[in-house]
Amino acid sequence: MDLVQNDAFVIVQRKSQVSLHQLPKKQGKKWTVKIGRDKVDISSVVGKPHGTFKLVREKDGKNSVFTLEPSDEVVEMKDKMKDLNSGENNKEIWDDGTSQQLKKEDIEELRGQGLTGSEIVTQLVENSKTFQIKTEFSQEKYLNKKEEKYSEWVDILKPNIRHLAKHFHSQDPMQILNLRPDTLAMIMSLANIKSNGKFGVFDGGCQGLVTAAILDRIQGHGTVWNLFLKGTPQKRVIQAMNFTPEQLKPLKNCSLYKLKETLAKEENADGDEVPAKMIKLDEDAAPPLEFGSLDGMVIVCRRPTTIAKELVKLLAPSGNFAIFSPYSEPLSETYIQFRECNLAVNLQLTETWFRTHQVLPLRTHPEVNMSGSGGYILSGIKVVS
């Protein structure tokens, strides 16, 4: 079974609230993180299978820390309180700020006394003048909202691309150039990512998200060239995936300046014979990166206009590419450039429109908030004309 390891990353999910944490390197070391308003020692999950855990207070007191214990018996607040009365409509409910008798300090004190989440919510409900005359739907909505804050159960999940793409995007979209999860899904299709292929990625600001997604998809089969210009390649998401050495095997980092030198040398050395002795036979070594050698290419950056045309030279004829930018303007320039030079066919500038829905009996509708843009993709297939 899949157990939580020391030093590994985990996703902590409490209702819809998601956070990413790395566990301590050393066994037995306490590791306190904040989950919502609560301080939780997550080292208590090490050695246990991923799944649902209950927040358990170590000892009473205001600043006490919770530990986590495996627990599958989740009790939702709305189930606990389903026997309460409810009203027909909100005719008698006035927003005069007096319906909740408990003050902020009272609630803080209750927390300090070591009450559990559901006990606090019970107090809130009991001290509300209006709760019992709210409609059933309204009560459920209220309890769900409170549960987001006070739920005593959290899920400890193994990070995967679906979680990480959503987490990084919802935390701050521009830290990954507003590359929305559904746009990432499109990139994976349009660049024809598959096992046993050779792919190039230029990551100009999505924290290694695309590279991690490819490495995850191919599970050790194939080659992924992580192309970069300056410094070190982006790797935050790659690290958070807890990849095994086997899964990381396809990853080759390659500075474009070094590649330029190598390719120039090769051109000069054309015709010179290499003594047979000097050719090392290494079965495991990745095939060298040269012009026309890649099956697919993903470029992610703010302004791909100059670099895209160069990087496409590395693609094999009929190779697929997907170029992502949070802006449509540079991609429209690239589009015209590619079309005028007959570099590619099936050129498409697209974006995806994505929204989620609330589906509940008699209350189904699109969610009130949605993302307005998830970035743009220029995709196509390289041809030789």
- What distance, in Å, lies between the first and last C-alpha atoms of the chain? 54
Dihedral class, residue 5 (left if φ above 0, else alpha if ψ from -120 to 50, else beta): beta
Residue number with CB closer to another protein (3 or 264): 3
Please tell me whether residue 18 binds another protein under the rule CB under 8 A.
no
Q: What is the DSSP letter of 49?
A: B
- Give the one residue of 317, 368, 369, 372 binding another protein; rule: CB under 8 A: 317
Please tell me whether residue 385 binds another protein under the rule CB under 8 A.
yes
Please tell me whether residue 290 binds another protein under the rule CB under 8 A.
no
Query: Among 213, 210, 171, which Cα is nearest to 20's?
Result: 171
Please tell me whether residue 343 binds another protein under the rule CB under 8 A.
no
Of 93-101, 210-218, 266-274, 283-291, the window that binds another protein (rule: CB under 8 A) is: 210-218
Binding flags for another protein, 32-71, as an x/- string (CB under 8 A): -----------------xxxx-------------------
Please tell me whether residue 381 binds another protein under the rule CB under 8 A.
yes
Question: What is the residue whose two structure tokens read 């054309």?
Answer: 270
How many residues belong to the chain?
385
Contact present, 112 and 59 (Cβ < 8 Å): no
Size of the site for another protein (CB under 8 A): 65
Q: What are residue 177's phi and psi, to 5 degrees? A: 55, 30
Please tell me whether residue 384 binds another protein under the rule CB under 8 A.
yes
Q: Which residues contact 212 (CB under 8 A, 6 or more apart)?
A: 161, 164, 237, 238, 240, 241, 243
Please tell me whether residue 346 binds another protein under the rule CB under 8 A.
yes
- Give the one residue of 117, 204, 319, 375 binding another protein; rule: CB under 8 A: 319
Q: Which two tokens stand for residue 297?
A: 């290419």
Of 25-33, 102-110, 304-312, 350-358, the window that binds another protein (rule: CB under 8 A) is: 350-358
Q: Which two tokens stand for residue 240?
A: 């958070």
Please tell me whether residue 369 binds another protein under the rule CB under 8 A.
no
Number of Cβ within a 10 Å radius of residue 70:
14
Three-state secondary-structure class, residue 365: strand
Catalog residues that contact another protein under the rule CB under 8 A: 1-2, 49-52, 72, 160-162, 165, 181-182, 184-186, 188-190, 192, 194-197, 216-221, 295, 316-320, 328-329, 332-333, 335-336, 345-346, 348-361, 364, 376, 381-385
